[in-house]
Amino acid sequence: MIRWNRQFTELIRRSRAGYWGNWGLAMHVRPGAVGIVDPASGDFQLVHPSLPQVQIRHDRMSGAWKLLSEHVSRQELAVDVSGEAETGAGVRAEGGLEVRWSMGRAGAIASEFSLREQAVIADLTQIRNQFRWLAEQAARVGFGRNGAIHQGFGVVTAAIYANSGLNVGSQSENAEFAIAGRAGAVREMLGGVAGNGSYSSVRRVRNVDRQVWPAQPNSRSRDAVPIAYAFASFDGELLIPNWQRRLGALELVFRNGAGGTYRVEIEVGWQVGRQPRTVQRVAVSGAMTRTVGNIPLAARDLRVSARFVASGSSPIVREWADPLRQWSNGRRHIDLGGRWPGRISLQVREED
């Protein structure tokens, strides 16, 4: 069985790292909604419709959302739709358009929408201010105990809304899906600025899972639909503002390239509350990878200093004031490079 929302989420994160997908276009996925995210599927289970006293900011978005995975081809074809139901007056002279997606492998995805807005919780301190109430809700559904909250329970912090569009996934090889209608209406549905589009028929349906908005042909919806969302969770009392997976600790992965000739001595330091500062040291030679993987989630003021032995250069330093907030997935990959007597380099893969 294909986990469509998991596949959709992975596709979204290629360009929007902090988001989960809403493959089924569930309307209860909205900023302020309280519930549980299954990290294996990305599905959101509603526990309470809204965080008390939450304030939402709405930022206008326009244009097209278009995500196509590998093994998907897209065609636009002129067709005759004169015999199909139409809406509006004076439109019969307009030509018809069929948009067709062909998918070569099972699990391939096409996602196209006309965007309307991004809605976000205006200030995340609103979540911290309601911690006691949230802990009670978490305990009620088995995601909390003794005033602590387990990872996976939390609050939707943002959602991307669309006026219209569709998600289509291939359930087998050589699947197809197509919609047709007046050319202007179909193009508007799949990414037009006004977003007031529609379609008159569904064609060439073969072995696909589909989610279309509006759900019925020859109709236009006034309601926007959420297509992706961001989520904040907790580890005990610690807020994880952009939760993407279960985290036991923060991780730094250091990789010295296969052609590297320098031995790199690395010092990693961080602070947790009022405890003494923790410092760990590792060395990475050419073609080696080392991981510092026991950094507490509550770590602050994290500093990496990398000294390339015998290079004659000063150590390269990178710093993060709040890595749990700044590292969207709890991890950073650091690539080290340099061949004697040439230049040395340190790049953070997720940032540089």
Q: For the chain, what are the domain ranges? A: 4-240, 250-348
- Residue 204 has a pLDDT of 78
Cβ atoms 82, 92 nearer than 8 A: yes
Residue 62 · residue 6 · CB < 8 Å: no
Q: Residue 194 has which token pair?
A: 């006004």
Q: What is the pLDDT of residue 33?
A: 98
How many alpha carbons fall within 13 Å on the CB side of residue 185? 25
3-state helix, strand, coil in the chain (%, to 5): 10, 45, 45
The parts of the chain modelled with pLDDT lower than 70 are 85-93, 195
Count other C-beta atoms under 10 Å from residue 87's C-beta: 14
Q: What is the pLDDT, as a whole number, of residue 206? A: 86
Alpha-carbon distance 220 to 187, whole Å? 14
Q: pLDDT value at position 93? A: 57
* H or E segment and range at residue 335: strand 331-338
Measuring CA to CA, which residue among 329, 334, 330 is closest to residue 17?
A: 329
Is 250-348 in CATH node 2.130.10.10? no
Q: Nearest 10 degrees: CA dihedral of 209, 210, 216, 217?
A: -110
pTM to 2 decimal places: 0.91
Residue 319 Cα distances to 55, 270, 316, angstroms: 32, 10, 10
The pLDDT value recorded for residue 221 is: 84
